[in-house]
Structure 1
């Protein structure tokens, strides 16, 4: 079969070239139309009960929100100028693109009111709107109104009165991060002065910030490509070995991007570094293939025969490597987050494009290029170079020394035990208050730090929805008292800074009837009292939507908001455990308490998804790798030999992440799986070359040395090219890209060590029978064809 495949490719090269040109042109046309944007529903684990609860009660908010902190440097916010700024800023927020106007909240909006008892009844005038007080008496009254209301003091105004909070929510399916970022930046420039500083945080704004770094990301892509080309040229001194692999990687990229458009997906800027990893994989396969062509040409002097020999020797190893890469990547689509579903699917197709591009088109390109000059001289230079004549030669000799293989295995086992201990400390989820996507020194994370210090809890709401069994359920005093007890229970958690629900407002109305005596900040005892307070609350000039975040229109469901200092996994677990314990011990026939919405709920859903799928996905990826490589080599021992170095490389990388306090999150999860594909390619090519060389030399030590010196040379070249390319990403302002560049460099080093040291050592110790073919040197030298493919002997 392999004989027929090789001759078909060589004899039908013109037809193949035409078909590949047509296909690439088609995919290029589609690739140029890809929308680069973030679609927010794609970022949520849609099947998680927390996310389902958020989608069921969208009016309660808590997600897709942006918070603005208006800080005064000298004095406090209670000046006519600053108060008017709050009003004007709030008015402009209503006109932001895709904003939900019912969720705009600040001291300066009409819905923020203060209940007052008058001679004719209750009045609920706006606390500040429509204009700032111009007299000292008016400002003093405003201070008294704010300081006496826990709903506003510490929530909309910081405890030192130097920061005013402005909140807004956005419609999820209409979010336009770039426009939101652009408009908020305009408002920031407009309202900042020598005494006023604006701090803006929130995911819709954050993704706009990320979009602003796209030019820098493009620059790093260019630098990466140039660095890869330069390193490859310095290493190989062959333009042929540079241009063909880079052309192959570019064609695969065109196909992959074309698949994105054909599937009607968008290219999210968050995952722009992932295509670089796939391109690196394509580069790896192509370097292996074309270096073998060069080697064979130096021996035969016939380019056609060199391509045939290379196809026969590398087609099945390459096919096995690409299939294991593809299936591992496809597992990413099993993670129940739409962004991961899309990423896994189009990267799977992108990876499969390497089969026609590398394994079929590469020999065709070689046949149409001019004949190689001084091929024998090039081979001698490479074999006499430092890498092959010294480093790789030494590695080969080390593996062949008596007892050295056991020593190598023992060293890896010792480090595996250390890594196991370190892995116990690795963190899952977003462990820091700021975003893990940007560096700590970024303006965004500095604003997050400021808001966390001055208005703790404002950025981390956790929503608990109380779903009534029938309309009017929340008017029942028994249910409101249960809600009050729940809030009191949750408020005992040190990280909870504030709890808020309609109960707070009803208690506030009750206190107002008793001349604002705090002693009467309590719920009425009767249903009539609750009805009266709710009526007074909503009839004092309230507008439609003013209380949407507290309860729904038929008084069936209500929302409890807990403001939390941070979203560390241990804090979230404590919140959920306390809430669940209360719910399980306080049953009622009136309603059901449902967890959990808000930013804390979304992060908890992410953490659950990562915890469940991180180990499972990685384990299945390794299992599939073992099965496929076992089939390719007709020996499951081969699969086990390849999986062991891959597992240890992942293990060592996670240990490094634990040391550096890098958590496993949505961004880092795909990298570990893709890195498995890069590493398994090294092992497959090395084992296949050992098998071929043993058939020629008949001695395992000689076969190991030759394989390490030839296939190992291409492995090292690929590794150096990848490391040299991605190392520049460490200078990116996007922390995710910087960390991924670093992690990919580290895991590549571990894969190189595993392939060149541990894998040969295990082969030397075990002496697996699948490597020992019966083809003789005489058969090879006389040009006789093997009965079957070397890999299926």
Structure 2
């Protein structure tokens, strides 16, 4: 079958090239219109308990797209007319920002923050600073005193040293466009920022806005990586075909993948550019292998009119199986990620599988077909020859495999797998460091986040709900209020939880106010009747929307909102475990606890999904790889043999992630899944070439020598080129891209070293039957001059 495919593609090369050119042109139009954006709801595992709670109550208690703005003075206090005017301008300006929830804008200049007052006429609530600013020094002093008396403002919204104040705003999840919100909020702040104050902004819309902000830089890095790749290929391969055809393979695969995804209405996530580069590197790798094999065949063919066609046909026939096997392995390992209930990962999986599959066309078929057109294939374009140096490296690999040292190689490999496998279990799920792992610690966003966390209770929030639908007034009950109060004291003992807020914090303020501000009564009432009365009084003087942060309109469900100082995976898991511990030990007679909403609640759900499926996905990907190898080579030993480079490359990479504090999160999972297929690609080419040489009658020593000096040369060239080009990503302003580029370089380096130095030793020692079985005649005896000469 392979021989017939090769014969057809070369004989009908005009038809093949023409058809692929037309399809590429058509798909180019669609690829240019692919949508590049981040969709928040795609990150949510919708069936998870926490996500269902979040979706149900986010419009009432606050969603996960909250933006926090801190206005800070270096000296003095914020109670200055010019400073408060900036707060007021920002607060009013936020109403005009796209997708904003106008009922979730809270600051000193909003109606949300109020003072509860009692007089002979009764009790009333009055906004602290709305609609006008304090007109004189007396009013400014009165505002200051009101803030200091209000525990719901002093601390949560005005810092303890009175040098900073917060503005919080939430957005409608289904409508938010991060790039637009990022631009509009920065423009708003630029209008008031005259250098007299420091204005810091955090929140997921700003975080992902920074990702979009750095897209032009990312494109420049891609161009630089591509330029370095082409330059190194030009120097090492010394032919224009060795430069242009791998480039063409990468471009064609990208056009096909993006065009097909646009037809399927799958958008492109900016953060997965790393995955795209990883797949493109596979296109370059497959294409270089074919070009290298083409050159090997030319070396033993006499110059003639048909030598290019014959060499191209042999290269296509001989490398079709390992090339296709590599493509199928990459696609199958990536497809496992689709089992995740997170839509973003499912869509990314579809994009990746399509992209990897296009390598069949762009590299495995198109490259040898185009090679067959070359009229004068002999010769080079520059005199610098690195081949002798590369051959010394390959000779060293041959010596390691065929000398007594081969046993030491196998022994060291076992030790490396055991040690790195042990440390791989220390890999953390979720974010492993404070701040956002997407950006560097010194990035403006992380600096702002640290500054806000240092002055306030925390910028990232989680809410849990207590109550039950249909039980109107349940939140007013003594049991629920005291349960909230007890829970808040319990959860705030965790250092990473800066504070919490619920209606159980508001009622004591009303209770104290009714008693002329006596601090002795700054607590919940002694009975349900008292607490119910206090809630009724508060409700009677509140305007619509005032209580949304604390309870729904029917008082059937109330929220406890917790502020977190960091979003590390360990912090979130500890908090969730403590919440569940409290719920188990404090059962309710009426109502129930519902976990968990807000950004931290969403991240807790995502982390739990990744944690529960991480081992299963890795195991399933490895199993799929074993099955594919077993079917292709009709040997279970083949499946086990090719696990060696996979296990080495992946355990070493996961150990490195654990060492450097790179967590397994929604962004790194796809890279890890694709890395499983990446770890075995090079081994396919080397093992398959050894099998060919053995089938042609070579001795094991000669077979390993020929395999390393042909397929191994391609592995060495592509690995060297791609390692250096991916290391360029370390210059990225996005920490995630830089770290993923480093991981790609490690994967490529370890998998290449395994293919060149470990696999030949294992094959030589254990002599697997699917390679050293019965002596077969070459499949393409008449088209294999290199093998015949051997």
Common fold: TM-score over 0.5: yes
- How many corresponding residue pairs? 781
Question: Which segment is superposed worse, 548-557 or 158-167?
Answer: 548-557
Q: Which residue of 2 aligns with 1:455?
A: 456
In the alignment, structure 1 segments of 5+ residues that lack a partner are: none
Helix, strand or coil at the partner of 1:36: coil
1:100 positional shift: 0.3
Contact 2:400 2:409 in 1 (8 A): no
Please show how residues 740-779 of structure 1 align to structure 2 within 5 Å.
Answer: 740-772=740-772, 774-775=774-775
Contact 2:435 2:566 in 1 (8 A): no
Q: Which residue of 2 aligns with 1:219?
A: 220
Contact 1:469 1:591 in 2 (8 A): no
What does the per-residue CA deviation read over 1:709-766, in whole Å, with 9 as the maximum and x for residues that have no partner?
A: 1110000111112112111110010111111111111111111111111111111110
What does the per-residue CA deviation read over 1:75-115, in whole Å, with 9 as the maximum and x for residues that have no partner?
A: 01112222232222211111111110111011110121111
What does the per-residue CA deviation read over 1:598-638, in whole Å, with 9 as the maximum and x for residues that have no partner?
A: 22212211221221222222222122112111221221211
Helix, strand or coil at the partner of 1:515: coil
Q: Does 1:308 align with 2:313?
A: yes
Please show how residues 235-634 of structure 1 align to structure 2 within 5 Å.
Answer: 235-301=236-302, 302-374=307-379, 385-388=388-391, 390-401=392-403, 403-468=404-469, 470-540=471-541, 542-634=542-634
1:460 positional shift: 3.6
Contact 1:44 1:606 in 2 (8 A): yes
Q: Which residue of 1 aligns with 2:200?
A: 199
Contact 1:155 1:458 in 2 (8 A): no
Helix, strand or coil at the partner of 1:282: helix
Distance 1:35 1:383, change over 3 A: closer
Contact 1:62 1:462 in 2 (8 A): no
Mapped partners of 1:439, 1:528: distance in 2: 54
Contact 1:111 1:543 in 2 (8 A): no
Q: Which residue of 1 aligns with 2:651?
A: 651
Question: Which segment is superposed worse, 60-69 or 189-198?
Answer: 189-198
Contact 1:285 1:681 in 2 (8 A): no
Contact 1:281 1:677 in 2 (8 A): no
1:138 positional shift: 2.2
Mapped partners of 2:624, 2:631: distance in 1: 11
What does the per-residue CA deviation read over 1:661-693, in whole Å, with 9 as the maximum and x for residues that have no partner?
A: 222222222212222223322111101100111
Helix, strand or coil at the partner of 2:169: strand
TM-score (normalised: structure 2): 0.95
Mapped partners of 2:162, 2:336: distance in 1: 51
Please show how residues 651-690 of structure 1 align to structure 2 within 5 Å.
Answer: 651-690=651-690
Q: Which residue of 1 aligns with 2:128?
A: 127
Q: Which residue of 2 aligns with 1:720?
A: 720
Mapped partners of 1:183, 1:62: distance in 2: 20
Distance 1:672 1:575, change over 3 A: closer
Helix, strand or coil at the partner of 1:115: strand
Contact 1:427 1:664 in 2 (8 A): yes
Contact 1:60 1:548 in 2 (8 A): yes
Distance 1:512 1:181, change over 3 A: same
Contact 1:510 1:533 in 2 (8 A): yes
Mapped partners of 1:20, 1:572: distance in 2: 50
Mapped partners of 1:534, 1:440: distance in 2: 45
1:654 positional shift: 1.4
TM-score (normalised: structure 1): 0.94
Contact 2:460 2:600 in 1 (8 A): no
Helix, strand or coil at the partner of 2:346: helix
Q: Report the aligned-residue RMSD.
A: 2.2
Mapped partners of 1:772, 1:413: distance in 2: 23
Mapped partners of 1:178, 1:250: distance in 2: 27
Contact 1:332 1:344 in 2 (8 A): yes
Mapped partners of 1:783, 1:104: distance in 2: 78
Mapped partners of 2:562, 2:500: distance in 1: 5
Question: Which segment is superposed worse, 275-284 or 57-66?
Answer: 57-66
In the alignment, structure 2 segments of 5+ residues that lack a partner are: none
1:17 positional shift: 1.6
Distance 1:570 1:727, change over 3 A: closer
Mapped partners of 2:207, 2:571: distance in 1: 24
What does the per-residue CA deviation read over 1:380-409, in whole Å, with 9 as the maximum and x for residues that have no partner?
A: 997962102x111121122111x2111001
Q: Which residue of 2 aligns with 1:27?
A: 27
Helix, strand or coil at the partner of 1:94: helix
